[in-house]
């Protein structure tokens, strides 16, 4: 059994995906803008992920923009039958690389068609609606209008399942009242746990929770307790942080990203790391 298989599976839409996946964000250039510094290296990472057993890749056409989707198509198309590609809409990049809201009907429709074209797909398996009411995290506000646009695209057969990203618990409740929601993708990790209650609510409803920046993102996790537990277990701090997420709740799907095959292999080893009770207690106290 591969280390990816050891992490188990969870339902995403109507598909069972392995809980240890891959996030393609870091394949683009610096600050997720422009082409990668090592084009062939980026292709190698994607192929290595599939070879290792990963069948869930998270991406978006605003990464680059267009870069990561085009790399995925070049590296993996025609896609393995069990591969689930999950993308996001609701954001766009300025010419300088800024992250800007893009939630009008025209922008959302164009984003779906951009993702379809660049991934070379007839239908997108899961599309997360990224809410951009604030630049620093989830902020309250109605998501009905953009979600109805995405639901219409779903009815047209261009989108199979809908998820939400960067949302509050209230917005998740509103979204679920409008359309079936198969996943929520928010900022969450060992040191940032504001979604604890939401994760438990989603687990009870059999809805996947996908933490982005599971390792801290642009500010990697640093903790004396984390380092101590890692040393005791003979693992890296990043492996321990991911193992904690896997043990936090069965509905959590991981999408750690990297542009390095070696780093990818290190991340995936978290799938076989089981944290004992003493280690969990130390980590939960962070």
The set of catalytic residues is: 63
Chain centroid to CA 115: 16
Packing angle between helix 277-284 and helix 224-233, nearest 10 degrees? 170
Q: Report the phi/psi class of residue 142: left, alpha or beta, with left for phi > 0 and alpha for psi in -120 to 50.
A: beta
Annotate 9-32 with three-state secondary structure. EEEECCEEEECECEECHHHCCHHH
Q: How far apart are CA 66 and CA 33, in angstroms?
A: 9
Question: CA end-to-end span of the chain, whole Å?
Answer: 32
Spell out the alpha helix ranges (H) of the chain.
3-6, 39-51, 67-76, 105-119, 144-155, 169-178, 196-204, 224-233, 237-248, 261-268, 277-284
SS3 state of residue 38: coil
């Amino acid at each position: 059994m591969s280390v990816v298989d050891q992490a188990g599976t969870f339902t995403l839409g109507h598909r069972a995906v392995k809980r240890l996946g891959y996030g393609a964000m870091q394949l683009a250039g610096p600050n997720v803008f422009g082409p990668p510094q090592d084009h062939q290296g980026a292709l190698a990472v994607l192929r290595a992920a599939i070879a290792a057993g990963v069948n869930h890749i998270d991406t978006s056409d605003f990464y680059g923009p267009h870069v990561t989707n085009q790399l995925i198509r070049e590296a993996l198309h025609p896609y393995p039958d069990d591969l689930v590609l999950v993308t996001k809409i609701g954001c766009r990049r300025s010419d300088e690389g800024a992250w800007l809201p893009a939630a009008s009907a025209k922008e959302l429709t164009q984003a779906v068609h951009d993702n379809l074209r660049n991934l070379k797909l007839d239908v997108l398996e899961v599309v997360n609606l990224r809410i951009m009411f604030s630049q620093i995290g989830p902020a309250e506000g109605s998501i009905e209008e953009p979600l109805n646009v995405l639901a219409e695209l779903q009815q047209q057969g261009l989108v199979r399942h809908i998820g939400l990203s960067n949302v509050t618990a209230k917005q998740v409740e509103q979204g679920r009242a409008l359309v079936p929601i198969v996943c929520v993708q928010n900022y969450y990790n060992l040191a940032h746990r504001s979604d604890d209650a939401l994760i438990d609510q989603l687990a009870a409803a059999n809805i996947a929770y996908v933490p982005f920046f599971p390792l801290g993102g642009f500010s990697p996790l640093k903790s004396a307790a984390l380092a101590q537990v890692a040393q005791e277990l003979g693992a890296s701090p990043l492996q321990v942080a991911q193992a904690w997420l896997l043990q936090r709740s069965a509905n959590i799907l991981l999408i750690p990203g990297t542009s390095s095959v070696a780093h990818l292999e290190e991340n995936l080893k978290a799938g076989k790391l089981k944290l004992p009770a003493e280690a969990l207690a130390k980590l939960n106290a962070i």
